[in-house]
Copies of this chain bind each other. A is one copy, B any other.
Amino acid sequence: MVLHLVPRWSASLFRASPRWKKTYSQRASAQLKWLGCPRSVYSPLACRAYSKVSGSPEVMLTPERYPVQRLPFSTVSEEDLAAFECIIPGRVITDPEQLQTCNVDWLRTVRGCSKVLLRPQTSEEVSQILRHCYKRNLAVNPQGGNTGMVGGSVPVFDEVILSTALMNQVISFHDVSGILVCQAGCVLEELSRYVQERDFIMPLDLGAKGSCHIGGNVATNAGGLRFLRYGSLRGTVLGLEVVLADGTILNCLTSLRKDNTGYDLKQMFIGSEGTLGVITAVSIVCPPRPKAVNVAFLGCPGFTEVLQTFRTCKGQLGEILSAFEFMDAECMQLVGQHLHLTNPVQESPFYVLVETSGSSAGHDAEKLTNVLEQVLNSGLVIDGTMATDQRKVQMLWALRERITEALSRDGYVFKYDLSLPVERLYDLVIDLRTRLGPRAKHVVGYGHLGDGNLHLNVTAEAFSQELLGALEPYVYAWTAEQRGSVSAEHGLGFKKKNVLGYSKPPVAVKLMQQLKAMLDPKGILNPYKTLPARA
């Protein structure tokens, strides 16, 4: 038996051995007490855009890189600014320095040239702003934490930026049902902390939690790291308050688990990326905080073994399996190179992170231990380490959560977020490595394997039309052939709106356009986003 020692922390490391099992079991009950979630300490990058902009080279203006024409909206006038100032005194920002960060997306790939940022505090203020913009035919770009991946969160031209940053109040929390009602601008991590203090957790979690807003999460129908266990926001969001394009307030902010009175209008706004209405408040049901959390980080010899490990975990961990993430060897290399994170296990072609969350530390540890012994003994896993206490759990999670950050330090990133049949999930990565050859710096695959969700990323020294041409539409056509989704969780925003047709039939696209026309007849809300321009 070899016990690994990992330089950066004294993790509980293992090889299949009776001794290891015993040691683990003894420690489990003593150590599995902590449940807080300050993982973001290890993912500071959520705020990157803000810190980086000043020092970095200017991002190219969107219309310079992409073929897009400004639609005939009005231009913000002095009178408009005065009207905004009346509605939200002192919260109309026109200072170019301040505007810079919210004109550029987190990935630094698109840039608008908005001249005004509005920071309302209430739904009533949002309503008055939209009523004004609607009357004046001014285009509006709703913005949350600006962590979106598809260029949806920043203006394409000079749209008015309507930020939810100051709409950050919790409205109510029910400590038996776990139902949280809050304004749309609450930062996910702050909500997380708030409900954890009350013995609940948020049903979603993502690497951007330190910056993203719950309204932005709902607007993008974010998936993230807890999707496998707690499901989609379509089930956990119970109510929304939305301000429509003309300023009408639609109040569907109920806190009921079940409500079948008429059509469920809130669903239209979940995942609509700011194109149908501005979400101003959210009611969401939070699951009870699990009493025990365990994380195992494993090295697998091949993708087939990754899949078999998943099947074994799913079958045997059942209801306590809360995450099954995977990353390839190149991801590990990048987090090592750019962020100096250390690989806690033996070098392997693939790594998986398995998390369990349950109500009994002893039972959970026993289940996980059994599974781990099985996958080690059967050769599905080469090497692994397990963590039960807060710090180690965070460190293992950081390896997975900080891949996005490591990639963004590697150069220009071409990002694809695909749903594919799990069996074929990794084939595209291999295929692309051959196809692109030395034109790409790195071609990596990682993601939420448990949900059939691959994050395929290609890095290069700089943006290049030629590389883009080699990638698109190839990646989309490949995905469509597998009947996959060309955007599993990131949405379409500005950058992917023209690929909608790879995953949806023309009848559906037409209906979406009708829905848009019904709710926003002048098209002022987040124009140039989500839907392809009409022929």
Q: Which residues of A contact B (CB under 8 A)?
A: 176-177, 220-221, 223, 227, 231-232, 234-236, 248-252, 254-265, 267-268, 270-272, 276, 288, 290-291, 311, 314-320, 357-360, 363, 366-367, 419, 422, 448, 451-453, 483-492, 496, 499-500, 502-505, 507-509, 511-512, 514-515, 518, 530-531
Contacts and interface: CB of A to CB of B under 8 A. Distances in A.
Among A176, A256, A489, chain B packs the most CB atoms within 10 A around the CB of A256
Contacts of A496: 261
Given A227-B257, A318-B358, A319-B357, 19 more contacts: A231-B236, A234-B235, A235-B236, A252-B504, A255-B483, A258-B488, A259-B419, A259-B488, A260-B487, A260-B488, A260-B489, A262-B504, A263-B268, A264-B271, A267-B270, A316-B359, A319-B319, A320-B359, A514-B518
A320 to B, nearest CB: 6
A64 B203 CA distance: 49
A288 B318 contact: yes
A488 B367 contact: no
Contact of A268 (B176, B267, B487, B507): B267
Contacts of A486: 261
Contacts of A484: 256
A276 to B, nearest CB: 8
5 contacts: A176-B422, A234-B264, A258-B419, A259-B487, A260-B271
A465 B218 CA distance: 45
Contacts of A504: 252, 261-262
A220 B260 CA distance: 8
Given A234-B267, A288-B318, A261 B367 contact: no
A358 B319 contact: yes
Contact of A453 (B257, B357, B491): B257
